[in-house]
Structure 1
Amino acid sequence: MPTPAAPRRRLPVVLGLVLLLVLAGVGVGLTRPGPVAGWLGDDAGPARNSAGATPEPDPADVLAGPDPNAPLPSADGVRAALDPLVGVADLGDRVNVSVADVTSGHTLFAKGADDGTVPASVTKLVTAVTVLAARGPAYRIPTRAVAGAQPGEVVIVGAGDPTVAVDKKGYYPGAARLDDLAAQVRTALGGVAPTRVIVDGSIYSGPVYGPGWDDDIPTGGSGGAVTALTADGARRDPGVGQGAAERFAEPDLAAGRSFARLLGVPTDAVKRGTAPAAAAGGAAPAPGSELGVVQSPPLIRLVDIMISESDNLLAEALARQVALARNQPASFDGAAAAMDAQVAELGLPADEITLSDGSGLSRRNRISPSLLTDLVRLAASPDHPELAGVFGGLPVGGWSGTLGDRYRNAPGTGAGAGTVRAKTGTLTGVHAIAGLVTTADGRLLTFAVLTDKVPGGKETAQPALDRIAAALANCGCS
C-alpha cells in the first residue's frame, strides 16, 4: 500500500473512543458524558427540540461508529475515488478540497486545500469553536433589568442573547423569558408602578447588517438586524422556523415593547438609552441597581442550535461573545478580529482565514478547506474537551438538519446516509460542506469541500458535493 501523505501539522489527537463518545452524546443524546453534563447544569432538561417538532432520537441509532482498528485509506486510493467527482461541471472551476484522517492527521486528499474560499454557512464551525474556546461551554448570556435614573423608569439591558423569549411560547426551547424578568422587576419595585422602559443595547456597536451581505438578507427570512436585545431571534411570529421568518427591523425596540406590555407600561413609553451607573442609598431602588436578571441556556446548547438550524442571527450573537471575551468591540469588525485572533491562539493557521461576520452570510469571508479539517481534528482532541460541543449539532446525512433531505434520492449519494455528519453552506454561486465521514472500513475522516464559482443552482451543485462525501463513505481506498 502506498505510504500516506504526511500530516499537515501534528495535533494532539488520538481520539477513537473520545470522538465516539462525543458523537453519541454531546449533540442530541439524552445522556451526556464526562464534563458535558456539568456544562449543561442541573436544569438542562431534555435534549433541544424545535418548537412543535418531535424530539430527535439518539444519533447512535443512525450513525456508523468508527472502528479504532480500521485500516487507514491510502492517499492514492482516495485520489482515485475523488478525482472524477471534484472536476464535474456542476461544481464550477473552483473546487477546493481537504480530506484528512482524524486519528493520525494524515492528509489523504488536497486540491486547493490551503486556498481561502468563500465558505458561506460553513463559517459557523469557526464561530462555534472560537466561542467555546473564548467563553467556555457553560457560559450563559444575561439579560438584566435595572432601575432607571428617574422614578418608575426601568432599563432592560441586553447582553447579546437573541434566544430570549417573551413568554412560554418562545421559539428557542429552554430560553430565558421576559415574563420571568418582568415578575422579578415587579417584586423588586414593591408597590411602585413602572412608567417607562429604556432599552439599553449599547454593548453592541457599529452597523446592524453585515459587510458583504446580499441585499435581500434583511428581508429574506434567514437574517436580520443584529442588536444586543432581541427576542425570539427577532421573529414577528415565534412559531415560524428558521429560513422563513419575517423579522422585526428594530429587534431591540420590539423586545422592549414586549417587556413594557408585561410591566403594564404603554408601548409609546419605550425608547433607547443607557443604564445609569449603580448608586447606593435611598429607600427606593437606586439608579442602576439590579431589579432582575434571566440567563440564556449554556453556550453548548446555543452552539447546538446554531449549527443544526444554521441560525444566522444566533451565529452573529455568538461571534460577538468572542469579541466581548477578548475585550474587542462587539461589532462585525470586532467579532471578526477576535475570531481571527482566537483561531491563531488555538494553533490553527490564521493566515488561511479572513472573516467579516460569524454567520457566513458575508461574501467577503475566506476560509481554506485545510483549516476546516484541522479545526475539526482540534475540536475532537482530548486536550480540548471544551470544544467538543461543536459536534452535537452537526446534521446527519439523510436524517437531520440541513442534511435531512440529502443523501436520499440523488444517484451516487446513498452511501452518505447515516455516515456523513457535516455543516453545509449555501449562497448564490457558493456551495460548501465540511465535517466527518465514516468509511466503509470504519475509519473516521474529516473533509471539507468549498466551491465559490458554481454556474448553476443547488439542485445540481448539492448532489455533486454529496457524491464526494458519499464516495468517502463508500471507500476502502487501500
Structure 2
Amino acid sequence: MRPTRWRRSTYAVVGVVVVLVIAAVVTAAALLANRPTPQKVAVEPAPAPATARPGVVPVSDTADEPTPAGLAAALAPALADPNLGKFTGRVTDAFSGQELWAQGAHVPMQPASVNKVLTTAAALLTLDRDARLTTRVLSTSPGVVVLVGGGDPTLSAAPRGQDTWYRDAARIVDLADQVRRSGVAVRTVQVDVSAYSGPTMAPGWDPLDIDGGDIAPMESVMLDGGRTQPVSVDSARSRTPALDAGRALAVALHVDPATVTVLPSAATGKEIASVQSPPLMERLRDLMNASDNVMAESTGRQVAAALHRPQSFDGAVGAVLNALERADIDTGGVHLVDSSGLSVDDRLTALTLDGVVNAAAGDTEPKLRPLVDLLPIAGGSGTLSNRYLDTAAGRAALGFLRAKTGSLTATNSLAGVVTDASGRVLTFALLSNEAGPSGRTALDAVAATLRSCGCRT
C-alpha cells in the first residue's frame, strides 16, 4: 500500500474543530462564572438522549431541472475567462438524459486524462469485476525458467512486509518460493512478453515522460507500474520494465541477473509458479483516482483481449470504442491512439465524453454505474483532493461534484457529475485547449457554477 499523507483539507478540518472546542470551553467558563449561586441544591434534570440518523439520502427525481436559458446565463461569466482558450462542453440532466447546454460539443478536442473515462467504462462493460491478471513461471528446459507476463502492472519485487505501490500486489518473492518448492534447479531466467504486440510507446508520447514518471514502455510484465522507486510519488519509470522484472526474479532465485534475456516469441513449458493481481475494481480505482497512465494502458489491453483483438495500442483503442458503440454511446469524431489520454494526438468530443458519464449516472447501462463511484470527489479524493478549496463557489461544490480530471500543457478537462442547488443531478464534460496560465482554475469555475445555481431563470 502506498504511503499516506495528510492533506491541507484535513488540517483545515482539524483546525476548525480545535477552534470550536476552545470557544465552547471559554463560553462555558464565562457562563459558570457569572451564574448566581443557587439557594437550594437540586438534582438537575437529565438531558435528552442524543440521537443520530445516519444514512444515504437519495436525490429527488422531481427536483427542478435547470432551463437551458437559465444555465446559459449562469455559465456566461465563467465562460468569459480568456484563460479557457479554445473551449467546448456539454451539460445533461442525469435523470432525463436531456441536453441542457452545449458549446462545440461535436468538436474533437485534445482530452488528456479524461480519456480514461472511456477506458474504464469499456472495462466495466466487458470485463468481470473480480477478474485478476496472472503472472506465471514456466520450466522450459533443464535449468531454464521463463517469467511470463500476463499484463499485471502491479507485480512488485518488494519483500514481504514492505510496502508496494499498489495495494494487495502480487510479489516476485512468492513466485520464487513456488519455483523452489517445484524442485527445479534454476540456472537461467528468461522473460516472455508475447502477450502484448506492437510498439511499446504510443504516437504522441514524449520519451522524457518516462524519466518524469508519467509512463513506462508498455510491456506485459513490469514492477510497480514500471517505477524505479516503488513507493515514491516522484519516481522515474524504467525504460526496460520487463527486463527489470526478470532480473528481480533472478535475484530472488540467486541467479546472476546479468544473464536474464527477453524472448523474441512465446515460451512453452510446464507451469511451476503463478501469482495474481488485485481484482479489476481495485485496479480501476487506482486508474481513476491516481490517473494512472500505465494502469489505463493495461486495462485497455484487457478489453482488447476480451473482444479477441490484439493487445496493442491499436487493438485496445478499437476495443474500447467498440464496447462503447455497442452501448449506444456516440463515438463520432473520436480519434484515439492510446487508452490513457497521454498522447497529444488523441481527440475526443464533449458529446462522447458526457454520453459515457450520463449513461453511468442514468438508468440506461447498469454495468456502468460503478463509474460514478470511481470519480474523484471535489476537495476529497484523488486528483481533485486539493482543488475547489480556494474560492467560495469552489468550496460550495465540495462533496457535491465528482469528476475525472485531465491535464497536459495548455490542455485542461473535466468530466463528471454534480448535484445542483435544486437537488438535480447533472452530468458534464468540459474540454479546454490552448488554455492560459490559469486555465485549470478557470475550468473549475465553470464546473463549480453548475453546483451553485438552480438555473431556472
Q: Report the TM-score, using the length of structure 1 for normalisation.
A: 0.81
Residue by residue, what CA displacement relative to the aligned partner does 1:313-367 show, whole Å, maximum 9, x if unpaired?
1111111111111222211122112222222112111213221101101111111
Displacement after TM superposition at 1:408 (Å) = 0.5
Find the counterpart in structure 2 of residue 466 from structure 1. 444
CA distance in 2, matches of 1:275, 1:147: 13
1:51 corresponds to which letter in structure 2? P
SS in 2 for 1:218: helix
Find the counterpart in structure 2 of residue 90 from structure 1. 83
Displacement after TM superposition at 1:382 (Å) = 4.7
Residue by residue, what CA displacement relative to the aligned partner does 1:397-421 show, whole Å, maximum 9, x if unpaired?
1122111111111464222211110
SS in 2 for 1:353: coil
With over 3 angstroms needed to count, the CA separation of the structure-2 counterparts of 1:86 and 1:226, relative to structure 1, is same
1:185 corresponds to which letter in structure 2? V
With over 3 angstroms needed to count, the CA separation of the structure-2 counterparts of 1:311 and 1:398, relative to structure 1, is same
Task: Check if 1:447 corresponds to 2:445.
Answer: no
Find the counterpart in structure 1 of residue 271 from structure 2. 290
Unaligned stretches of 5+ residues in structure 2? 11-53
Q: Report the TM-score, using the length of structure 2 for normalisation.
A: 0.85
C-alpha contact 1:63 1:419 (8 A) present in aligned 2: no
2:249 corresponds to which letter in structure 1? F
Find the counterpart in structure 1 of residue 402 from structure 2. 421
CA distance in 2, matches of 1:375, 1:447: 10
Displacement after TM superposition at 1:63 (Å) = 9.9
Task: Check if 1:226 corresponds to 2:178.
Answer: no
Displacement after TM superposition at 1:206 (Å) = 1.7
Find the counterpart in structure 1 of residue 185 from structure 2. 193
Find the counterpart in structure 2 of residue 369 from structure 1. 350
Find the counterpart in structure 1 of residue 122 from structure 2. 130
Find the counterpart in structure 2 of residue 393 from structure 1. 374
Picking from 236, 250, 255, the partner of 1:265 is 255
Task: Check if 1:161 corresponds to 2:142.
Answer: no
Would you identify which runs of 4 or more consecutive aligned residues in structure 1 move more than 6 Å? 54-57, 61-64
SS in 1 for 2:238: coil
Find the counterpart in structure 1 of residue 70 from structure 2. 77
Task: Check if 1:317 corresponds to 2:298.
Answer: yes
SS in 2 for 1:324: helix
What is the aligned-residue RMSD (CA, Å)?
2.2
C-alpha contact 2:116 2:341 (8 A) present in aligned 1: yes
Residue by residue, what CA displacement relative to the aligned partner does 1:211-268 show, whole Å, maximum 9, x if unpaired?
1123532221111211110110111111112xx2211110000011111111121102
CA distance in 1, matches of 2:362, 2:61: 15
Find the counterpart in structure 1 of residue 171 from structure 2. 177
CA distance in 2, matches of 1:387, 1:216: 35
Picking from 188, 208, 212, the partner of 2:204 is 212
Task: Check if 1:249 corresponds to 2:239.
Answer: yes
Displacement after TM superposition at 1:377 (Å) = 2.1
SS in 2 for 1:211: coil
Residue by residue, what CA displacement relative to the aligned partner does 1:75-116 show, whole Å, maximum 9, x if unpaired?
111111112222320111x21010001111011110011221
Displacement after TM superposition at 1:154 (Å) = 0.8
Displacement after TM superposition at 1:62 (Å) = 13
With over 3 angstroms needed to count, the CA separation of the structure-2 counterparts of 1:364 and 1:72, relative to structure 1, is same
2:251 corresponds to which letter in structure 1? R
CA distance in 1, matches of 2:454, 2:364: 29
CA distance in 1, matches of 2:258, 2:312: 28
2:252 corresponds to which letter in structure 1? L
Picking from 334, 338, 342, the partner of 1:357 is 338
Find the counterpart in structure 1 of residue 17 from structure 2. none
CA distance in 2, matches of 1:384, 1:402: 26
Residue by residue, what CA displacement relative to the aligned partner does 1:279-317 show, whole Å, maximum 9, x if unpaired?
xxxxxxxxx111121111111111111000001111111
Task: Check if 1:348 corresponds to 2:329.
Answer: yes
2:447 corresponds to which letter in structure 1? A
Displacement after TM superposition at 1:469 (Å) = 1.1
2:154 corresponds to which letter in structure 1? T
SS in 2 for 1:432: strand
SS in 2 for 1:366: coil
C-alpha contact 2:154 2:223 (8 A) present in aligned 1: yes
C-alpha contact 2:393 2:452 (8 A) present in aligned 1: no
SS in 2 for 1:442: coil
CA distance in 1, matches of 2:105, 2:364: 25
CA distance in 1, matches of 2:380, 2:169: 26
2:71 corresponds to which letter in structure 1? V
Aligned residues: 408
Superposed counterparts of 1:19-168, under 5 Å: 50-53=2-5, 66-92=59-85, 94-148=86-140, 150-167=141-158, 168=160
